[in-house]
Structure 1
Amino acid sequence: FHGKAFVHWTDQNMRGPGEVRFKEIRHHSATEEYFQVSKSLLSHAADSTQPDDKRILDAGQYTYPFKFHIPHTSPTSFEGQFGFIRYWTKVTIERPWKKDISTKKLFSVICPVDLNQGSSASQPTHNKREKRLCCLCCTSGPIVAEMSLTQKGYVPGETVSINAEIENNSRRKMHSVAVDLLMTTTFHAPHKSRSVTHQVARIKHGSLASGNS
């Protein structure tokens, strides 16, 4: 049984003075082990007269029950652009003087999240921004965006209720209004980190004329 996290990416920079320049590639990587446990499902019996290297399994299907307790601190499985959190089990048939036979199977782990333990997850949140458009020397009124959520924390499958209001006080027409749900993932390596953001969902509305909201 094996569970670990791994990150890796490269940075490329041009180095050297004047025209004598070369490409420098730096690798950034890190590994975090969660568990690595081995169990013997078939071993030499103490009262057997057969040596281990003479043990023979007749043709057929064999079942060997086993179990393993996954630590409660193990994070949820994840696959990202520059890293992953993976869990797998690997079975190996050891054959003396012959090549071992192995098979590997990945499995997913979902770590339960209890937002009730967070002090601010159930609290509402609010934000307000404004932007002014400039045309040559003329400055128009601001575009004001105000958005609020009924709570800060959500779990998968839960509906995110968004209250948003846009005031177009500029002299221009807004062609569309959209709200994006973004996920930012940060990968950490020694002395370096890298973040990737991608769009999870989008709500888009129509145009908004000047002076309207």
Structure 2
Amino acid sequence: ISFDIVFANQPPIFYSGQSVSGTVIVNLRDAMKMRGIRARIHGRAYSHVEVQQTREYDDGQGGTRTESYTEYYREYETYLDHQVTIFGKDRHGQNPVLPAGQHAFNFSFVLPPHLKMPSSVELGHCNIRYMIVGTIDKPWKFDHIAKRAFTLLESIDCNDPSLSQRPFPLQNEKFLCCLCCQSGPLKVTANIDRCGYCPGEGILLNAECENLTNRAMRGIRAKLVRLVKWKARGYNDHRSSDYFEIKSPGEIAEGQSFSWSNQLIQIPAVTPTITSCGLISIKYEFQIAVIVPGGINLNLVFPITIGTIPLRPSGMAGMSI
């Protein structure tokens, strides 16, 4: 027997409100008696958190010892779970016989248009998965099961005013101290063109550094940082990842200013922002830093949203500091 699922859409990428349709293909060498063939759509989030614990135990000599161990906590959150019979019976009646040969059974599920479902994602300790599960329900025997995952993208429209608008410019300054001698301030100002982007689009950056200190700076650095948080059974964990890092050329001499103008920085292929899941959160920051040699960098942070519907060309606008 061969048992497979083929999606009508290739690649199988969907938004809420669209139909997930395809065909369950069964190829039998001999006729098979069964209750029926089911198609199920299933979507859920999963997370697990590892917690280091300690405990004491009797060492057998009248004393105690302490050992470390790991406890694992897991949790699920379900978004979709619906099953239909595409061949055979639901409950009552005679068990049908499917003849030998190849058979194709169509299925179609409409993703709920008003249900907030987070985008698919695969991470080390957590994931959000959507799939079609095909089952040949056999009486008194093990069932045959086929699974095919599809990608769901939450509708995050970068044309929405909250994402297409330009954020306020950011600025920061600090004084560098060396023993009892204090130099002039180090200042940085930066602006980006909007608050939301899709992979493949570009962040238009303008940044300016005024170096009134008595030492040279090593330039301005820009990077995209992903912040992931997940939880399970009341325990939390988090990770951060840098997706790219670029640096302005040369140093910024003492007493000098430097403008890093109209830098178009392309967003790589990254997971969309996720805020609608009860277990997993994914957010992004566009971080700007003046690199201070032998000291703490002077930083600016722009929270940005990674969307799934790109900005239309008519919505683009120029910008300047």
Q: What TM-score does the superposition give when structure 1 sets the normalisation length?
A: 0.83
Q: 1:12 matched to which residue of 2?
A: 52
Q: 2:235 matched to which residue of 1?
A: 192
Contact 1:147 1:162 in 2 (8 A): yes
Q: 1:160 matched to which residue of 2?
A: 203
| CA distance, structure 1, for counterparts of residue 48 and residue 109 of structure 2 | 29
The letter of the residue matching 1:203 is: I
Contact 1:28 1:190 in 2 (8 A): yes
Compute the displacement of 1:34 (Å). 0.1
Q: 1:30 matched to which residue of 2?
A: 75
Cα-to-partner distance string for 1:40-97 (whole Å, 9 max, x where unaligned):
111149xx9xx31xx3323321111110011232221112232111001111112223
The letter of the residue matching 2:230 is: F
| CA distance, structure 1, for counterparts of residue 207 and residue 124 of structure 2 | 32
Cα-to-partner distance string for 1:126-171 (whole Å, 9 max, x where unaligned):
2112233333332222322211123223333332111111122222
Contact 2:73 2:232 in 1 (8 A): yes
Q: 1:120 to 1:67 in 2, by over 3 A?
A: closer
SS in structure 1 at match of 2:105 = coil
Cα-to-partner distance string for 1:156-208 (whole Å, 9 max, x where unaligned):
33321111111222222223421111121221334333332211222211222
Q: How does 1:90-129 map to 2 (within 5 A)?
A: 90-117=133-160, 119=162, 122-129=165-172
1:40 pairs with 57, 64, 85, which one?
85
Identify the structure with the greater strand proportion: 2
1:137 pairs with 180, 184, 189, which one?
180
2:100 pairs with 54, 59, 68, which one?
59
1:78 pairs with 118, 121, 125, which one?
121
Percent identity between the two aligned chains? 31
| CA distance, structure 2, for counterparts of residue 175 and residue 12 of structure 1 | 40
Greater Cα offset, 76-85 or 101-110:
76-85
Q: 1:97 to 1:190 in 2, by over 3 A?
A: closer
Cα-to-partner distance string for 1:7-63 (whole Å, 9 max, x where unaligned):
1121214456x9832214343432110011111111149xx9xx31xx332332111
Q: What TM-score does the superposition give when structure 2 sets the normalisation length?
A: 0.58
SS in structure 2 at match of 1:132 = strand
5+ long unaligned stretches in structure 2: 1-40, 57-62, 258-321
| CA distance, structure 2, for counterparts of residue 113 and residue 165 of structure 1 | 31
5+ long unaligned stretches in structure 1: none
| CA distance, structure 2, for counterparts of residue 146 and residue 84 of structure 1 | 38
Count, aligned residues:
207
| CA distance, structure 2, for counterparts of residue 24 and residue 5 of structure 1 | 26
SS in structure 2 at match of 1:21 = strand
Contact 1:7 1:29 in 2 (8 A): yes
Contact 2:49 2:235 in 1 (8 A): no
